Amino acid sequence: MTAQLNPRGDVAVLVPAAGAGVRLGPGGPKALRRIGGEPLLVHAVRRIAAAPSVHTIVVAAPPGDDDAVRELLGPVAELTVVAGGATRQESVAAALAAVPAGPEIVLVHDAARALTPTTLVESVAEAVRGGEDAVIPVLPVVDTVKEVSAAGVVLGTVDRSALRVVQTPQGFRRAVLAAAHAAAADPLTDDAGLVEKQGVRVACVPGSEYALKITRPFDLALAEHLLSAVPLAGHH
């Protein structure tokens, strides 16, 4: 059944889904690869659409696949589909340009983080609503980290106590994200990076193991397993 979004919600979620998935290997655009019989993009959008604060969803589709993505997501949730760009940053900018007047909180969420819990969408939005200009979900680094030379020799052991791995959704006051994208020069890997360049404070909230980014074949297998072991994996 098509999820109806909250007309009184204050959050727009941009879903960059236009990546090729080179690290995942052959099999078509990553967002359209399947776990539990459904494309990653469907899993991701279903979880976003279940978040009570969400007013608008804009998906940046793989180049040439925008009509197919519209058809695919029609039964999942009310949303807008735009054509993605050559970089993640361009895809986010295209989606941002399609957000209607209204929502003043904008979240950017990778389709590749298909099992992200709905509760994480809400906790990031809540932190922005509470006064932060920019919010990212993070997890501690669980392994020892070494700096290694190009020749494969250890140069030193990094102090990991202040390091965090960063997930999505990343949340922003709308004007802050728009200004950061307007000022963007070289592409960065995440939106918080653009905002940092503007001197804006970026706050952290606890991330979720379920929000793993499906990047390599092992991640796809892990996500498939999580979904079959716990059918609602990452839903809450």
Ligand X SMILES: Nc1ccn([C@@H]2O[C@H](COP(=O)(O)OP(=O)(O)OP(=O)(O)O)[C@@H](O)[C@H]2O)c(=O)n1
Beta-carbon contacts of residue 72 (< 8 Å; ≥ 6 apart): 32, 39, 41, 42
Q: What H or E segment, with its residue span, contains residue 97?
A: helix 88-97
Pairwise CA distance, residues 40 & 109, whole Å = 13
Report phi then psi at 136, rounded to 5.
-130, 145
57 sits near ligand X (criterion: CB under 6 A)? no
Q: Spell out, one character per residue from 3 to 42, where the chain touches ligand X: x when CB under 6 A holds, - when not.
A: -------------xxxxxxxx------xx-----------
Q: 52 or 64, CB closer to ligand X?
A: 64
Q: 219 or 224, CB closer to ligand LQXTBERG?
A: 219
138 sits near ligand LQXTBERG (criterion: CB under 6 A)? no
One of 65, 110, 132, 133 touching ligand LQXTBERG (CB under 6 A): 110
Task: Find out whether 33 and 76 touch, Cβ atoms under 8 Å.
Answer: no
189 sits near ligand LQXTBERG (criterion: CB under 6 A)? yes
One of 93, 213, 223, 226 touching ligand LQXTBERG (CB under 6 A): 213
Report phi then psi at 132, rounded to 5.
-75, 145
Q: What are the structure tokens assigned to 80, written together?
A: 């807008």
20 sits near ligand LQXTBERG (criterion: CB under 6 A)? no
> What distances in angstroms separate CA 47 from CA 20, 21, 88, 93, 158, one per listed residue?
22, 21, 21, 22, 36
Residues interacting with ligand X, by CB under 6 A? 16-23, 30-31, 60, 84-88, 91, 110-112, 213, 215
Residues interacting with ligand LQXTBERG, by CB under 6 A? 88, 110, 166-168, 189-190, 213
